[in-house]
Structure 1
Amino acid sequence: MSLPLVFHDDYSPPLPPGHRFPMEKFRLLRDHLVALGLTTDAALLRPELCSHDILALAH
């Protein structure tokens, strides 16, 4: 059983240069895995928005 890879473009929102949390690391990791041939962009799972009821369970 292989590990599912999940990515969404919203994981890497644009932040000012030098921001203390480098959000682009998620996009860069996806790009690196694709470049190495370990996955394809089409093979990545894309999450959908959760309902307010589900979100309320966690928050």
Structure 2
Amino acid sequence: CGVALDTWMFPLDEEIFPGVKQPIFFINSEKFQWIGNIIRMKKLDSAIFPRKMITI
């Protein structure tokens, strides 16, 4: 399981997204909730592996 705190997604190459197979839990503060970052986080969404995102 991966726990991502205030995840900044832009440094990650999109080619790695399909290779991520473990569950991920994103915990973000308000400052990390801009549309471009959320779109990249959602590219890691999966119907097979549990992925959750919350904002505090």
The TM tier, using the shorter chain, reads under 0.3
Q: TM-score, normalised by structure 1?
A: 0.25
Structure showing the higher helix proportion among its residues? 1
Q: Which has the higher contact order (CA 8 A, sep 6+)?
A: 2
Structure showing the higher strand proportion among its residues? 2
When Rg is computed on C-alpha atoms for both structures, the one with the higher figure is 1
Q: TM-score, normalised by structure 2?
A: 0.26
